[in-house]
Chain A
């Protein structure tokens, strides 16, 4: 039974340990029709596209975390549309672990209401599996970033995902030295877009939720001994995730993180979804810092479904010519 979620801060290990399939919902190639009756058009197409999927496909339930205003309200809209929902109040300010652990305890209760039981053994199993998947994805991306796989694994059972990534690692070839571009943004579930960068002659590095932000974690260094400490493990794991514009950190950690990633790149492309407030607020000042570092910067605004890949290709090729 699929339990859909939209944000990489969602504790998928818990969902999995309850016996559900954690399924990352993305906008697809379907035009957005039904969703327009529920939410205004000045919402991002990831939100509208996900709602469209929810209205047309079969899901057992949905889990939301508070990343942005749109997602916050989307929970109630999904519920109004007759879907089973739950919102986990992941804090915007990173730091208070005890508070978030309580949220996770409450989430376990919700999973029980949905028909799934979580216990320590199963949770440890899920944690191990997802950690394995994350490490394998890191391995794969170090050889040659494979966005199609990264997106696919977010919608299948983790054991199958691990097998899939293993296979890809076997056949992956180390990339040649080419000008490197850092793609930064939130989601882009269209593998064709990443291909455009490759075809234009770039080697790709990313800061995206459909890419490395799905598997870049820094794990706490203790071994959980019971359910409570396992929840603490999860809380710390997700709080130490690669910084995201939707969270507030001390010392401008998010900016510093992107600047560090960009160091060995020749260009930075902001691949942003139209109406995405957190990313668009960061964009001007982050761009200034990157240009100050001597990087060529471009902005590509996306809407889903992507209608004109040619437009994107033109922009990317133009950037390549400038390097």
Chain B
């Protein structure tokens, strides 16, 4: 597999991001689907425990840190991002030295209801205030009352954050951040779309490795320059017809959060069999965060964040996946039945039956490597590839 040059840049950028966190005067731990633009407008540094969890998974220490939580009574059946994060707090450290103590916590349940419980646990441990941004589940259509409910809470959040940090939200800064956020999301989406080329210049593993900036640095100049550079490198590859893998014979789509501790392994497994995972539904979710639809920033924010990929009904999800299948012209879908992510995994059996191409389900966990059964995964994937 040809490594993208930008991945090295990503490492530098994220190291800088985590170091800046250590120096930040005021920080908030935030969930990946929350409107981070509000934090930037208040100059509050955003900490992403989920990204931290992915990082720990990638270092293959997920099980190790989860054990610290488990020893303190947290069930092994709970989400491994949460167990890992809570475990690091108990352990007092992590592969990057642990996260800075939060000034406050900001949880938005548009990715799952679990984050509310996870952050409640954190708020009791750290004894800091927690703001929950409660989003209704949009099973069929977005209703006006849903939007108003969320919008009201956005105003509530601003009052809450101003009170806790003793700062005032800068309106102009918010608009600026929102524009930057939109620009980075646009650039990021363009990067992902280069995979529609045949052969694809990148695999979804490249996307996973390089998604950290759009998650953690969305709304800053860093994310914009990063994805500009990434786009350039990908465009070059497309121009020269450079393929991400040696021989692209089969094109596939990945569904669900990646198996963080086996990215390289999966990449090599598929490359050996001339299969390229050109796209995935997880990284694609961030291309939906186009924050503003008009003049009213907060109302636009309410809409975009409420209708996020994991907060919509199965009918819409299946539609989106079929669109991706068409856009990227894939021959099949590999679905990761992720023990730790119920909203993402429940419904896969049904979605399988609505897809326009064949699919296979493999069972694993995103961060807890103790749950991974290599023989099982290999057999299923090989059988699937033989089928195509």
Residues of A within 8 A of B (CB): 37-40, 42-43, 66-70, 72-77, 79-80, 87, 89, 91-93, 96, 99, 102-103, 106, 245-246, 248, 252, 274-275, 277-278, 280-285, 287
Most A CB contacts (10 A, CB to CB) among B74, B124, B153, B347 go to B347
B86 CB to nearest chain A CB (Å):
9
Supply 11 A–B pairs (Cβ within 8 Å), ascending by A: A40-B348, A76-B347, A79-B314, A91-B134, A92-B134, A246-B113, A248-B120, A278-B117, A281-B82, A282-B117, A283-B73
Which listed segment binds A: B139-147, B190-198, B258-266? B139-147
- Residues of chain A within 8 A (CB-CB) of B337 are 40
Which one, B118, B132, B346, contacts A39 given CB within 8 A? Answer: B346
CB pair A69–B149 under 8 Å, yes or no, is no
- Which A residue sits closest to B345, measured CB to CB? A40
- Check B293 for interface membership: any CB of A closer than 8 A: no
Q: Which B residues are in CB contact (< 8 Å) with A103?
A: 145
List of B residues within 8 angstroms of A79 by Cβ: 314
Q: Is B47's CB within 8 Å of the partner chain A? A: no
Q: A73-B346, A99-B149, A284-B72 are in contact. List 16 more A-B contacts (CB 8 A).
A: A39-B346, A43-B342, A68-B113, A69-B112, A73-B342, A73-B347, A74-B346, A76-B350, A91-B136, A92-B134, A96-B152, A274-B77, A281-B74, A281-B114, A281-B118, A285-B124
Flag whether B359 is at the interface (Cβ < 8 A).
Answer: no
- Residues in A with CB closer than 8 Å to B143 are 102, 106
B9 interface hit (Cβ, 8 Å): no
Residues from chain B with a CB closer than 8 A to the CB of A102 are: 143, 145
Nearest-CB distance from A69 to chain B (Å)?
Answer: 4
Q: Using CB atoms, name the residue of chain B closest to A285.
A: B124
- Tell me the nearest residue of chain A to B76, going by C-beta: A280
The reply to whether B148 and A99 form a contact with Cβ atoms under 8 Å apart is yes
Contact (Cβ within 8 A) A77 B350: yes
Q: Establish whether residues A281 and B120, one from each chain, have CB atoms under 8 Å apart when the complex forms.
A: yes
Quick check: A69 and B134 within 8 Å, CB to CB? no
Q: Which residues of B contact A287 (CB under 8 A)?
A: 73
Task: Please pick, from A42, A91, A96, the residue contacting B339 in the complex, using a CB distance under 8 A.
Answer: A42
Q: Is the CB of A76 within 8 A of B315?
A: yes
Q: Would you call B78 an interface residue if the criterion is a C-beta within 8 Å of the partner chain's C-beta atoms? A: yes
Query: Restricting to B120-162, which residues have a CB under 8 Å from any CB of A?
Result: 120-121, 124, 132, 134, 136-137, 139, 143, 145-146, 148-149, 152-153
Provided the pairs A40-B337, A77-B350, A99-B145 are in contact, do residues A70 and B342 lie with their beta carbons within 8 angstroms? yes
B109 within 8 A of A: yes
| Nearest CB on A from B365, distance (A) | 10
* B350, closest chain A residue (CB): A80
Nearest B residue to A90 by beta-carbon distance?
Answer: B136
- The residue from B77, B82, B149, B343 contacting A73, defined by CB atoms under 8 A apart: B343
Please, how many angstroms separate the alpha-carbon atoms of A89 and B79 in the complex? 23
Residues of B within 8 A of A73 (CB): 314, 342-343, 346-347
The answer to whether B132 touches A70, judged by C-beta atoms less than 8 angstroms apart, is no
Q: Is B88 an interface residue (CB 8 A)?
A: no
Count of interface residues, chain B, beta-carbon cutoff 8 Å: 44
Q: State whether B117 touches A66 (Cβ < 8 A).
A: no
Cβ–Cβ contact A80 & B314, under 8 A: yes
With a 10 A CB-CB cut-off, give which of B82, B346, B348 has the most chain A CB atoms: B346
| Cβ–Cβ contact A280 & B78, under 8 A | yes
Known: A69-B114, A285-B124. A37 touches B349 (CB 8 A): yes
Contacts of A275 in B (CB 8 A): 77
Is the pair B342, A76 in contact by a Cβ cutoff of 8 Å?
no
Give bound CA distance, A67 to B124, whole Å. Answer: 22
Nearest residue, chain B, Cβ from A245: B117
Say which residue of B72, B113, B121, B315 sits within 8 Å of A66 (CB atoms): B113
For A73, A275, A284, the residue with the greatest tally of chain B CB atoms inside 10 Å of its CB is A73
Interface check B178, CB cutoff 8 A? no
Confirm or deny: B277 has a beta carbon within 8 angstroms of a beta carbon on chain A. Answer: no
B98 part of interface (Cβ distance < 8 Å): no
A283 touches B75 (CB 8 A): yes
A256 to chain B, nearest CB (A): 12
Are A38 and B349 in touch, CB under 8 angstroms?
yes
| Chain A nearest CB, measured from B66 CB (Å) | 14
Given contacts A40-B337, A92-B109, A277-B78, contact A248 B313 (CB under 8 A): no
A275 CA to B125 CA, complexed, in Å: 23
Report chain B residues within 8 Å CB of A282: 117, 120
What is the CA–CA distance of A92 and B113 in the complex, to the nearest angstrom?
Answer: 9
Q: Tell me which of A76, A99, A246, A287 has the highest count of chain B C-beta atoms within 10 A of its own C-beta.
A: A76
The answer, yes or no, to whether B366 is at the interface (CB within 8 Å) is: no
**Residues of chain B lying within 8 A (CB to CB) of residue A99:** 145, 148-149
- If A76-B314, A92-B132 touch, whether A42 touches B77 (CB-CB below 8 Å) is yes
Please indicate which of the listed interface residues A246, A274, A275, A284 has the most CB atoms of chain B within 10 Å of its own CB.
A284
Q: For residue B315, which residues in chain A have a CB less than 8 angstroms away from its CB? A: 76
Asked if A77 and B139 make an inter-chain contact with CB atoms under 8 angstroms apart, the answer reads no
Contacts of B139 in A (CB 8 A): 75-76, 87
Complex Cα–Cα for A39 and B342 (A)? 10
